[in-house]
Structure 1
């Protein structure tokens, strides 16, 4: 009997030690599970950050590649322009050089003849080459050669040749000849299909180059074009849409996310809100653009010779139609570079600007190009003023239409999404309702998370079995059953402790999530309030554009004509 008691005591001690070891191991496993859970949370956060960084990297890489491709393409296009049309520049420089040299009588006749004949041989097919030969022959009193060269220049490009010699005759103070050439030029024009060089004629009118008779003649022609176009069905609507597109080409593309970071992060409506602010900013951009056109004096050329030389330079330096495809590609590359590689933004701007590069445009489109795209239409500040003042009524109507469309596009409801919760606000004044909804959403998620962490069937089975072993072993003091029962009960108790700890952690996590979510919601609503105020402030600038346009008229922006005292061009020395 004593021997059995010793054995039982030894066995019980071993079982107790084993149970303590199991409990210790379970604690280690519990700590490891908690560690794994924490590492899993950190890993998920790091993966989310890595995914965002990867997307940002891919986007930046695409922009960098587009930028590099545009820069490389632009260099190749310019090289091709220089290779195919580089000699045009030499001819263009020679045109003004001949006039200036003739003014001061520093060029001999044979030098002038040789220079123009060499250009004629090199610039095959270019209209300006025979025009310069005709000019040289005219200065050297060779009417037969001048007539032949003039006929060839007219054959190559009648319109540019006519305008070129109209300006030359005005430079030489020959108003009758100037009017004859202008009549020839006007006779070839269709106000629906004007060449781009017509902007030079408008420039001459706006710059006060023509004398009173010729200026009156040009003004009547332009008024006739406007009247003719105005009779067309749908002209008013066409003008409003045309100027609407022109005004939209000035649309800013700023990202206002730095000022409204929470809306950018949590609002699916943010792209529309950002466009809304850019649209409201457009009023300021247009107002400042027109103010820049009309502010400050335009200093006219000191004399008629300089004024006409400026126009002649513009006429001959404007690229010709055969250069147009390459010039289009060059412009698109430049816009991509300006957009830092964003081809989508550059393409949108290019589509709005491309009409300025069209070979033939209506007179009203020509005015639009001159006013809004002077860098591509090669129009002067005086021409811009004249074009805007002549089109002021259509610009105002288009701006009103654009303002209405921008206001109609303003999102009335701003969606907010925070960690799976969705809500909407109009002006940020329903914070209490949204906070309650968000708190309920977090509470619901917490309850769902708590419901997933619970004791399983095996745990409850271990509890029943453990109680059964204890009850079966107590009457007979069977220590083996007692030990097994105690083991099952300890395993159940440990699991229950772990569930309680996990519940406690979930409570803490969701309490923190609730606080952070409510703070993010409050920040979003505050930004909605500020954004609505910001939009109202920017949108209030819209009437200033109409007020600016109401204060101008075409008569104000035609410069006074230059002195009409007769000036005789000097002949080259023999």
Structure 2
């Protein structure tokens, strides 16, 4: 059967068998991008032929055919775009699946030992696996850069009393990551009741910390130690560590600047927005009110900060079952964290899985947050100390650790407070002025009463006298101006009467004189009444401005009283800020550098 020709005389391909153009191109193996170019080219040619046909055959039938062809062409274009979109999504899914397989295979090949080591370490830490199960040096050599592999072998060798392997594995673990290995040993040994050995590893952990990159669990461990998780010896170690950190911070100017800035920000955060409701008259008439407002707010804020952090010295709470759960969580995170080498591959794997989950929609996959396998970013020591001192509840640490942090940062807290004091004290204006916007009388007065400015450094009686004279002087000028206008009006009327008399004679002059007399009399009475109203208004406005001046002066006296009270109260609280006294850290025999054999004790 012959194919039906199109209205343009173009027959479809014989092998298309009723398929759409997109299907034909796809079957022919034409790439998606090339398909779009072919379709656009064909559309242009069809449009040209349609226009040519329309110009040559201007009949109703040809017009209907041309419209139908245009509709079919638009439908064909939409179908092809949808096909291209589906093909693109399918290609995205296929590429993502290929990458998932590649990344998964790479992770298994390069870090498969890491995953097995983490599983074994977690099981050993929680007693679900016998320590002897990991007694294989291949576990350590199979993951040559992973600290947990060597730490697991060391723990197994300790349980099996294999001292040679234990010492080698311990030194290898410490060389790979001293702080993580020390914390891992301390937590596991504490869990197994080996308090003396756990205490030595705790000392090693505190000594080996990188103070520029402390983990999220650092304040949690400090709080647990302070609350007695490692006994009195652990608390003594903690006090010594804080003392050593204070000495370290004294040699780091940048760290001191960050601490001072944190304390200044805390002082700024508790400042009142404005005290204008407390001093309504002073805030309304004094140009120096913004400075006065900031100074008193700052003085009060300093007092609030001192009251907030001048806490009494507390006792060390006893250890509780909650500590075990907290440290178990720390241990769980420690043995399950990924290494820096794994993180890029894991992120790439999650991104491609998201593409597959969204059926190849890259935009939708990009909007979905990717799991953060790295956890919270590391922070500097001064940042954590400031957070513990200023907001211990956010880190879920006790007030005792807050006191230690406050004591460690005390000298920089005082430096921040002194800077804060200097800033607002230098902002106290040397002269407080008063500027009154005086009432403008209504018409007919054309002139106005100018604003009055005075200084509160002058005695109150002088200010009131100067303001009263200002009102009297300008009020007299205002009345004189009204009298001059009335006099000018009467002169104008007289001139007008004389002019009429000379031009029109006596009869018209008498009539003009009578009219001028009436107009002058009415105008004079009206002006005098208005002047009386203005005089009364001026008197009331004068009394009101004097009362406002007195109220502002009284509020300025109250302001100085409040400022001196805030200053004296804050100054008297200075000694109570320091809740504890920390000794300079001097390593005890338990903290001295020890070999692997000296650090471990018999299982």
Q: TM-score interval w.r.t. the shorter chain?
A: 0.5 to 0.7
Secondary structure in 2 matching 1:439? helix
Map residues 198-237 of structure 1 onto 2, 5 A cutoff.
198-232=218-252
Contact 2:242 2:582 in 1 (8 A): no
Map residues 70-89 of structure 1 onto 2, 5 A cutoff.
none
- Matched with 1:140 is 128
Q: Distance in 2 between matches of 1:378 and 1:524?
A: 48
Contact 1:200 1:379 in 2 (8 A): yes
Q: Which has the larger radius of gyration?
A: 2
Aligned-residue offset at 1:277? 1.8
Aligned-residue offset at 1:546? 1.6
CA distances 1:438-468 after superposition (whole Å, capped 9, x unpaired): 2233334434544654248665322222356
Q: Distance in 2 between matches of 1:358 and 1:275?
A: 38
Secondary structure in 2 matching 1:195? coil
- Matched with 1:28 is none
Q: Distance in 2 between matches of 1:448 and 1:175?
A: 96
CA distances 1:525-544 after superposition (whole Å, capped 9, x unpaired): 01111110111111101223
Choose which of 405, 422, 436 in structure 1 pairs with 2:465.
436
User: Cα distance 1:358–1:400, how it changes in 2: closer, same or farther (>3 A)?
Assistant: farther
Aligned-residue offset at 1:129? 12
Give the TM-score, by structure 1 length. Answer: 0.56
Contact 1:243 1:368 in 2 (8 A): yes
Secondary structure in 2 matching 1:417? strand
Contact 1:164 1:315 in 2 (8 A): yes
Aligned-residue offset at 1:239? 7.1
Gaps of at least 5 residues in structure 2 are 1-110, 153-172, 341-374, 438-450, 584-603
Choose which of 568, 573, 581 in structure 2 pairs with 1:553.
581
Q: Distance in 2 between matches of 1:217 and 1:300?
A: 17
Contact 2:313 2:579 in 1 (8 A): no
- Matched with 1:309 is 325
Q: Distance in 1 between matches of 2:296 and 2:431?
A: 15
User: Cα distance 1:182–1:536, how it changes in 2: closer, same or farther (>3 A)?
Assistant: same
User: Cα distance 1:300–1:253, how it changes in 2: closer, same or farther (>3 A)?
Assistant: farther
User: Cα distance 1:312–1:275, how it changes in 2: closer, same or farther (>3 A)?
Assistant: farther
Map residues 299-448 of structure 1 onto 2, 5 A cutoff.
299-301=317-319, 303=320, 305-310=321-326, 359-419=377-437, 420-426=451-457, 430-447=459-476
User: Cα distance 1:379–1:140, how it changes in 2: closer, same or farther (>3 A)?
Assistant: closer
1:466 paired with 2:454, answer no
Secondary structure in 1 matching 2:580? coil
- Matched with 2:292 is 273
Q: Distance in 2 between matches of 1:434 and 1:272?
A: 22
Contact 1:268 1:417 in 2 (8 A): yes
Higher helix share: 1
Contact 2:313 2:580 in 1 (8 A): no
CA distances 1:187-222 after superposition (whole Å, capped 9, x unpaired): 763324433432223323432322355555555444
User: Cα distance 1:282–1:141, how it changes in 2: closer, same or farther (>3 A)?
Assistant: same
User: Cα distance 1:378–1:442, how it changes in 2: closer, same or farther (>3 A)?
Assistant: farther
Contact 1:273 1:411 in 2 (8 A): yes
Map residues 99-118 of structure 1 onto 2, 5 A cutoff.
none
Q: Distance in 2 between matches of 1:544 and 1:129?
A: 61
User: Cα distance 1:538–1:523, how it changes in 2: closer, same or farther (>3 A)?
Assistant: same
User: Cα distance 1:295–1:232, how it changes in 2: closer, same or farther (>3 A)?
Assistant: closer
CA distances 1:422-442 after superposition (whole Å, capped 9, x unpaired): 22224xx62122222322333
CA distances 1:475-498 after superposition (whole Å, capped 9, x unpaired): x9x544312211022212322222
1:532 paired with 2:550, answer no
Gaps of at least 5 residues in structure 1 are 1-123, 323-356, 556-574
User: Cα distance 1:142–1:503, how it changes in 2: closer, same or farther (>3 A)?
Assistant: same
Q: CA-atom RMSD, angstroms? A: 4.4
Contact 2:494 2:516 in 1 (8 A): yes
CA distances 1:308-342 after superposition (whole Å, capped 9, x unpaired): 43455589899x999xxxxxxxxxxxxxxxxxxxx
Aligned-residue offset at 1:259? 2.4
Aligned-residue offset at 1:224? 3.5
Contact 2:226 2:316 in 1 (8 A): no
Higher RCO structure, 1 or 2 (CA under 8 Å, sep 6+): 1
